[in-house]
Amino acid sequence: MNDRSHSPGSVRPGGRTARTREAVLSAALDELAEKGYAALSVEGVAQRSGVHPATIRRRWRTVEGIMCDALTQDSGRAIVIPDTGSLRQDLRQIAQSIGGYYMVERNKAFLGGIVSAAGRDSFAEDALRDTLSVRLRLASEIVHQAIKRGELPPDTDAEEVIAYMAAPLYYRLLVSRRPLDDRLPLVCADAAYHAARAGVFSLPGESAGAASETDEPA
């Protein structure tokens, strides 16, 4: 994982190194939320965190390096994988937790910062890609359970179901740039649910899926 090269792999948890890291990452997220990515600077983070700029440059090199490490830290955030016994309800719970997370202005600003960093720095792009793929893999457990229960075709691409459920939330945040609301996660979950039930996410070659020309009623 390239983002390692940006983040200290061997901090003693609770030690001074860990406290410095916490101070720097937290200051960076505050700066980002207050001033935006364009104004994010090592100097600003140093001033807010009380950590010397040279220390920050030595360990994180650039603001993109700080973003990578913040993402690594964030990706350690525990994800609760629901198990309600219903795929639709499981999807709704995950969509609601993603939506709730990004309704917090600071988290929304963090996403904007990460995406900007990914557009400017290949380490940040790799860190984003790696983090997302880990999240998708974890969350896709609800789809595997649904397949076991017979709710979905056995050849369903589990991670694709989760990606399609999450995509409209990120589209709203990054592209159409309108505020999230409480309804969106439910619509996201239900859309992914019905598409999955219809076999749209069947792995290519193994069944009709998206290649099918039949317009079976939904």
Minimum CB separation of residue 193 from its own copies in Å reads: 8
187 binding its own copies? (CB under 8 A): yes
Candidate residues 116, 140, 145, 156; the one interacting with its own copies per rule CB under 8 A:
116
Q: Does 134 bind its own copies (CB under 8 A)?
A: no
Q: Which of residues 94-113 bind its own copies (CB under 8 A)?
A: 112-113
Helices (H), 36-80: 42-49, 53-60, 63-75
Q: What part of residues 53-82 is at the interface with its own copies (CB under 8 A)?
A: none
Nearer Cβ to its own copies (59/135): 135
The CB-of-152 to its own copies minimum distance in angstroms stands at 10
As measured in angstroms, the least distance from the Cβ of 64 to its own copies is 9
Our finding on whether 204 is near its own copies (CB under 8 A) is yes
- Smallest gap from Cβ 20 to its own copies, in A, equals 27
Q: Is 37 in the site for its own copies (CB under 8 A)?
A: yes
DSSP-derived secondary structure for the chain:
-GGGGGS-TT--TTSHHHHHHHHHHHHHHHHHHHH-GGG--HHHHHHHHT--HHHHHHHH-SHHHHHHHHHHHHHTS-------S-HHHHHHHHHHHHHHHHHSHHHHHHHHHHHHHHHH-HHHHHHHHHHHHHHHHHHTHHHHHHHHTTSS-TTB-HHHHHHHHHHHHHHHHHTS-----SHHHHHHHHHHHHHHHTTTTBPTTTSSGGG-------
Q: Which residues sit at the interface with its own copies, rule CB under 8 A? A: 36-38, 86, 88, 112-113, 115-116, 118-121, 125, 128-129, 132-133, 136, 160, 163-164, 166-168, 170-172, 174-178, 183, 186-187, 189-198, 200-201, 204, 209-212, 215, 217-218
